Amino acid sequence: MTPNHPIGKDLLSAADLSAPDLIDVMARSRRLAVTDGQSGAASNSRKIVANLFFQRSTRTKLGFEVAALRLGHRSIDAYDPERNRVGSSNGDSFPDHIRTIAQLADLLVIRHSEELKCHEVARLAPVPVINGGNGSDEHPTQALIDLFCMLEMKGSMDKLSLAISCDSRARYAYSLLLLLKHMPPRRLTFCVDPETQFSEKTQIALDHLADLGTQVGIVHDIEECLDHDVLNIQTQDLTSKVKSTLENGDLPSYAEKEPFVLTADKILKARSDAIILNPLPRQGELDSSCDTLPNARYFEQVKLSTYVRMAVLERMLAGIPWTGTGALARA
């Protein structure tokens, strides 16, 4: 049974953003970046942002905590299975835990290995819910961060050539493709393993971009990406990572295949001035020799992420609904 919730209260997919929604988030992020966050919401309307991280996280979890705090709001860690009663045999069920937290807090951020859990949470909670990564499905706020970085560093998308090197199942990449529909780049190159089979949804998203005029290409070597304006890089082998993260355990060491490893030598040899972004953590695809080159912008990306998360929180805590096709389809 779903309570009668406001339409568009949740950010579960990048498809929840319409073009005006996306422009609004980018404009808010810009304003916050210019003032280093000082222009955020006033502190006399204190709100509580509850983090529900069922998987490990550094940037997303601490990032939303920091974004809430910099806005003058507060953050609580609402999933701590060692200290809370959720999940213990005489404790709360998952739905009861969510219903409880939704009464204590004003907004929930959830990361869960199961794709559908964030949707369940959104149905259970009368308050806004943000998907902080659901299995291998989507990671809409990471995509917003990547897009904001490109806009901040390059000015606009329409003349831009963008290369994405990653496992084609990467959730942030799929979310980014959905956002790019509203701001299509001039050129988009996907760098993947030759054996890659794109998923149907990814293929549809790429075809849609091609229809919008983007020059879409596929390559199999990172060196073919270095003439682009931006290279967004992540590991090619996400399967083992997702599996490991699902189990919250450690992973046997994994060697990125050489054609997908970016090194300072490759950048220097190509005389590339491509901006390098990476959602982090890195797993062998991005050699530390790159770190001191001017191309390396992935820690600046972390800096900018705070403004984007602040923008998303500011908008959602003000009760402004998302109006994209995804949000409307759930209504």
State the residues that interact with a second copy by CB under 8 A.
1, 38, 43-46, 48, 53, 56-59, 61-63, 65-66, 69-70, 72, 74, 76, 78, 83-86, 88-93, 95-97, 99-101, 103-105, 240-241, 244-245, 250-254, 280-283, 288, 291-292, 299-300, 302-303, 305-306
Q: What is the DSSP letter of 238?
A: H
- Considering beta carbons, is residue 151 or 302 the nearer one to a second copy? 302
At residue 30, φ and ψ (nearest 5 deg) are: -60, -50
Is residue 171 a contact partner of residue 161, using CB atoms and an 8 Å limit? no
Give the pair of three-digit tokens for residue 163. 């290369």
Torsion over CA: 317, 323, 326, 331 (sign): positive
- Considering beta carbons, is residue 3 or 194 the nearer one to a second copy? 3
| Nearest Cα to Cα of residue 242 among 307, 172, 149, 156 | 172
State the minimum distance, in angstroms, from the CB of residue 208 to a second copy. 32
State the minimum distance, in angstroms, from the CB of residue 204 to a second copy. 29
- Considering beta carbons, is residue 82 or 258 the nearer one to a second copy? 82
State the minimum distance, in angstroms, from the CB of residue 47 to a second copy. 9
State the minimum distance, in angstroms, from the CB of residue 73 to a second copy. 9
State the minimum distance, in angstroms, from the CB of residue 100 to a second copy. 5
State the minimum distance, in angstroms, from the CB of residue 228 to a second copy. 24
Cα–Cα distance list, 135 to 36, 147, 158, 319 (Å): 32, 21, 31, 27
Q: What is the DSSP letter of 260?
A: G
Exposed/middle/buried for residue 146 (C-beta within 10 Å: 0-12, 13-18, 19+): buried
- Considering beta carbons, is residue 171 or 181 the nearer one to a second copy? 171
Cα–Cα distance list, 128 to 45, 312, 321 (Å): 17, 11, 9
Instruction: Quote the CA–CA distance of 137 and 16 in Å, as a whole number.
Output: 14
Give the pair of three-digit tokens for residue 62. 């601490």
- For every residue of 124-193, DSSP letters joined together read H-SS-EEEEEETTTB-HHHHHHHHHHHHHHHS-STT-EEEEES-TT-HHHHHHHHHHTTS--SEEEEE--
State the minimum distance, in angstroms, from the CB of residue 304 to a second copy. 9
- Considering beta carbons, is residue 79 or 322 the nearer one to a second copy? 79
State the minimum distance, in angstroms, from the CB of residue 62 to a second copy. 6
- Considering beta carbons, is residue 95 or 213 the nearer one to a second copy? 95
Instruction: Quote the CA–CA distance of 264 and 299 in Å, as a whole number.
Output: 16
Give the pair of three-digit tokens for residue 259. 């054609």
At residue 259, φ and ψ (nearest 5 deg) are: -65, -15
- Considering beta carbons, is residue 241 or 315 the nearer one to a second copy? 241
State the minimum distance, in angstroms, from the CB of residue 9 to a second copy. 17
* Residue for token pair 């050129």: 187
Is residue 13 a contact partner of residue 330, using CB atoms and an 8 Å limit? no
- Considering beta carbons, is residue 59 or 181 the nearer one to a second copy? 59
